[in-house]
Homo-oligomer: A and B are copies of this chain.
Amino acid sequence: MVNFVHPPAESLQLHHVLSALADPVRLNIVQVLHATQGGLNCTAATAPFGQVPKSTLSHHFRVLRESGLVQTTKRGVENINTLRWDDLERRFPGLLSQILQLAPR
């Protein structure tokens, strides 16, 4: 059983969040998660990135998780990914919405 590591909200670092969002594929994953209510399992979340190798996507999800952007929760046999919107908003007010607004679509 995989144990996912999620940093507590109060320890999130601005440079980790910026670094996570500085990769176009990761920024795009965050856009997809933001546009989705209730979280996405890994397959659904990664469907738009079919051309990206699965191992690369796993790496991107790990970076997103470790920077505090994404929460991964085991639900049965699925891993459900959600944006940690409230935590990020509390720690870095306005940052994520600003970046999502400016991101290429």
Contact = CB atoms under 8 A, between A and B. Distances in A.
A14 B22 CA distance: 8
Interface of A: 14-16, 18-19, 21-24, 27, 92-95, 98-99, 102-104
Instruction: Report copies per complex.
Output: 2
Contact of A92 (B24, B93, B102): B102
26 contacts: A14-B27, A14-B99, A14-B102, A14-B103, A14-B104, A15-B21, A15-B22, A15-B23, A15-B24, A15-B27, A16-B22, A18-B18, A18-B19, A18-B21, A18-B22, A18-B99, A19-B19, A19-B22, A22-B22, A92-B102, A93-B102, A94-B98, A95-B98, A95-B99, A95-B102, A98-B98
